[in-house]
Structure 1
Amino acid sequence: MTVRTLGVEEEFLLVDRRTGRPRAVGQAVLAAADELTGELQQEQVETGTRPCHTLDELSAQVRAARHTAATAAAGAGVALAPLATSPLPVEPTITPSRRYAEMARRFGLTVDEELTCGCHVHVAVDSPDEGVAVIDRIRPWLAPLAALSTNSPFWGGEDSGYRSYRTQVWQRWPSAGPYAPFGSAERYRAFVDAALGTDTLLDEGMVYLDARLSCRHPTVEVRVADVCLEPDDAVLVAALVRGLVQTAADARDTAPDPVRTELLRLAAWRASRTGMEGELLDPRTWRPAKAPEVLDALVAHVTPALEEAGDLRVVRELLDAVVYRGTGARRQREVLCRTGDLAAVVRDAVHEP
């Protein structure tokens, strides 16, 4: 078997190193590094890896991309923070572009408050037909993946009560979240065309499903994860996504789980609320189970694919590390408990160049 390539895109906050508040210097940071891309708000920046074959290669590229972004941020007088929401209050500054200006006109407060940072994983597929077969079959396991990455407990200077409040903010977009099976590439395309025909979305790039066919690459793109505090966690999420993609492709002749979209929304909410520290909905039963048990079930589900890619040992080690130390959300709350200072939470998260 030829191992599928995978890649990661990560979004980061640009913050004042002393106060911890996001600063609108995205344009200056982009000018310092061609490898970076801009986002909706000027208080953030995005990195991306090249397609990788191995987890070692991916890990090196994730770290190199973070280093490049952190160096460019330092040159602009700010720091790079892998936080999925700002712990401190912020009024984001939209990046100048005709597209973003039209988004602001159409979506109002959703755009005004949309300063969130995600981690998007791309895995190669052979064709749109294979890609749709994959996204139809990975739906039950996307919420556990989201729980594994939770890194946004604070919003507007307050504890949100969620491990991933980014997920709650992201659900405001009309095209975001879980989806029903499509059945074929033709039906997926028909859905996209119908969505665009409503004149609600600006373009295909705004089809914000939890998993979709990439507009720019021959890949499936999984979009449920917060940007991870630790680069190892981003590698873990990507490895599990590749395992899910291969497992789903191998099961193309088997009908996808018919679980209703409404139940998937409940699973996504639970993952956002408690992350790895509570109970998730177990896709094998659709009943609550402890989060580590559900993640163990995910690994078991994709073990043949992980073995074929040579990823199983690394995945188990990285998952054990997350279960032991917790996700970024837990780390953020621990720092606040110790210091009583949200600015200290941001400073603790800063990625040094």
Structure 2
Amino acid sequence: MRTVGVEEELLLVDPDSGDPKALSAAVLARASLDDPGQDVFEKELYGQMLEFATHPQTDMADLGAEIVRCRKEAARHAGEIGCAVAALATSPLPVSPSISMNDRYQWMAEHYGIATREQLVCGCHVHVAVESDEEGVAVLDRIRPWLPVLAAISANSPFWQGRDSGYHSYRSRVWGRWPSAGPTELFGSAERYHRRVADMVATGVILDEAMAYFDARLSERYPTVEIRVSDVCLHADTAVLIASLVRGLVETAAREWRAGREPVDHSVSLLRLAAWQAARSGLDGELLHPATMLPQPAESVVRSMVEHTGDALSGTGDLARVEEAVAGLLRRGNGARVQRELMDRTGSLRDVVTECVRRTQS
């Protein structure tokens, strides 16, 4: 059974005002003091962010428990220095991001200008084990059209600088400003994948392989594929659903490759439209169906993903749990819908943040 690991980026906020707080260095110092040698929490590009990574897991219940535990530990460490954590992909309240100080981040600030200064967004990355780079690239080629559906499910960033953006996932639109971000063409082989990344680095536009910010890529550190399209999810159970679906997609794609089935050759232009549509409407409108690239109701497309991955999900014992989670998600809505409902009810973005702080740990 393939292992799965999740990386989540959390927003550090003032517990009273809801304003983002640039206290990541202090939170990390507190975490190291409480647990010397801890390797769960990491610094991110901005001082208002804190990242954690789970261990590789095979059982989704164990993965969910670890996500909840890491969120609670992050909240505890943050609380000890007077701030809180919120699983929000963008700050609902206005913010001036504070760039963390190291050579890499300073290089980004100098080269990318205002795009770096406005990139305070929080994502969720899912790593799934693969047997080889060749299998990994075969997977990347075959999951491309399904990635916007994951983005719609996870969408959790409707507000930007104190205003409603009109999108369910505005994070993805901001993230797309990086020169290497977005969907990719078919690679066909591991050799062609690595050559493409090397050619990108050689241009000098990106610093190194780690800046190949594809929607899905081979991890440079682990024997995994890394799927990077999701907003950080407001609710931990949605993050588990995303991880379950990602593993199902990876296993389904690997089986197709071994069976000699060619990937669907949708153009990058169409994939970009599908990603835009997912960011715009989330689960509350239409999505482009991965097979046809024609619009269908979001609920129908999400259920098509479950059907597409059904055999793989059955093989890992996840199908019933995924079906139940999808039904619950479609009733409750993604994080963007929840945030807007909170805003409609309270009329206060500060109250939205306060409630999201609570839900981050629930």
Distance 1:31 1:311 in 2: 38
Letter in 2 for 1:325: R
The separation in 2 between residues aligned to 1:310 and 1:75, in whole angstroms, is 39
Which residue, 324, 327, 350 being the options, matches 1:317?
A: 324
1-side partners of 2:222 and 2:139: how far apart?
A: 15
Q: Which residue of 1 aligns with 2:65?
A: 60
- What do you get for the CA RMSD once the two structures are aligned? 0.8
Give, in whole Å, the separation in 2 of the partners of 1:65 and 1:48. Answer: 8
Matched, 1:295 2:295: no
With the length of structure 2 as denominator, give the TM-score of the two structures: 0.96
Q: Which string of whole-angstrom CA distances, capped at 9 and with x for unpartnered residues, describes residues 5-64 of structure 1?
A: 001000000000111110000000111223210100000000110000111111111111
AA aligned to 1:111 is T
Q: Aligned to 1:276, what secondary structure does the other structure show? A: coil
2:288 is aligned with what amino acid?
L
1:106 pairs with one of 101, 106, 111: 111
The Cα of 1:352 is off from its aligned counterpart by 4.9
Which of 269, 275, 278 is equivalent to 2:285? 278
Deviation at 1:268, TM superposition (A): 0.1
What is the deviation of 1:284? 2.1
Counterpart code for 2:20: P
Unaligned runs of 5+ in 2: 32-37
Question: In the aligned structure 2, how far is the partner of 1:219 from the partner of 1:75?
Answer: 35
Q: Please list every run of 5 or more consecutive structure 1 residues that lacks an aligned counterpart in the other structure.
A: none
Partner SS, residue 340 of structure 2: helix
Q: Which residue, out of 76, 82, 90, partners 2:87?
A: 82
Q: Distance in 2 between matches of 1:322 and 1:200?
A: 40
Question: What is the deviation of 1:119?
Answer: 0.4
What's the secondary structure of 2:292's corresponding residue?
coil
Aligned residues: 351
Secondary structure in 1 matching 2:9: strand
Distance in 2, Cα, partners of 1:150 & 1:47:
19
- How far apart in 1 are the matches of 2:143 and 2:237? 22
* Displacement over 4 Å in runs of 4+: none
Q: Does the CA-based 8 Å contact 2:68-2:361 persist in structure 1?
A: no
Contact 1:79–1:352 (CA under 8 A) maintained in structure 2: no
Hey, what's the Cα distance between the residues in 1 that align with 2:21 and 2:355? 17
CA distance in 2, matches of 1:349, 1:219: 31
Matched, 1:202 2:199: no
Instruction: Establish whether residue 171 from structure 1 lines up as the match of residue 176 from structure 2.
Output: yes
1:286 positional shift: 1.3
Q: How does 1:1-353 map to 2 (within 5 A)?
A: 3-33=1-31, 34=38, 35-252=40-257, 253-350=260-357, 351-352=360-361
Distance 2:118 2:64 in 1: 32
Q: Distance in 2 between matches of 1:284 and 1:177?
A: 19
Asked whether the 8 Å contact 1:88–1:343 carries over to 2, the reply is: yes
